[in-house]
Amino acid sequence: MSQIMDFLVQTSCVSSDLLKEIMRDYLSGKKQKSGLKSFNKLAKTGVLESIEITDNNIKDFLSTAKKYDIDFALTRDKSTSPPTYRIFFQSGKEENFQKAFKEYAFGTSKKLDKKSVTQVVNREQIKQNAKV
């Protein structure tokens, strides 16, 4: 079974050494990592934008950001109680971030609308006990 691999390399001339290096990097698993980065590394890439998020919503946002391959940095504002967090992201990837944030906002509102099974069962039990 043969596999076909496509490599995109911007160069004027591909030498055998360059091709060897590309294949070595590919086979060793080196790739550009996305997701949580340090603020300094993210600031080096260009202009940043930010949003504020609360402590309760971080985990939900992280899973959504992972789905859309968004590079972001997370900083904590210690001056407020309860702590608030700021998420910084590249302004060049704002479109991906908007999609991810819409999905995140829709998911959290959907979770708030759902009633848990235990709440429904407890309500029914209370009604039955009140009748008796």
- CATH class (in words) of the domain with range 39-114: alpha beta
- Tell me the CA end-to-end span of the chain in Å, nearest whole number: 71
Q: At residue 114, does pLDDT exceed 50?
A: yes
Q: What is the mean predicted confidence (pLDDT) over 118-131?
A: 67
Q: What is the pLDDT of residue 2?
A: 52
Q: Domain ranges in the chain? A: 39-114
Instruction: With 0.75 as the threshold, say if the pTM is over it.
Output: no
CA distances from 66 to 27, 51, 85, 106 (A): 23, 17, 18, 17
Q: What is the pLDDT of residue 1?
A: 46
Query: Using CA atoms, how far apart are residues 19 and 62, in angstroms rounded to an integer?
Result: 36
DSSP state of 46: S
Render pLDDT for 77-99 as a digit per residue (tens, 0 to 9). 888 888 888 888 876 666 777 78
Q: What is the pLDDT of residue 25?
A: 79
Cβ contact 85:77 at 8 Å: yes
Mean pLDDT rounded to a whole number for the chain? 74
For residue 97, the tally of other CB atoms under 10 A from its CB is: 21
pLDDT cut 70: percent of the chain above it: 66
Q: Poorest-confidence range of 14-18, 74-78, 103-107?
A: 103-107
Considering only CA atoms, which of 19, 59, 20 is closest in space to residue 36?
Answer: 59
Q: Which residue has the higher pLDDT, 5 or 72?
A: 72
DSSP SS3 for 12: coil
Burial track 67-80 (b if 16+ CB lie within 10 A, e otherwise)? ebebbbbbeeeeee
pLDDT cut 90: percent of the chain above it: 0
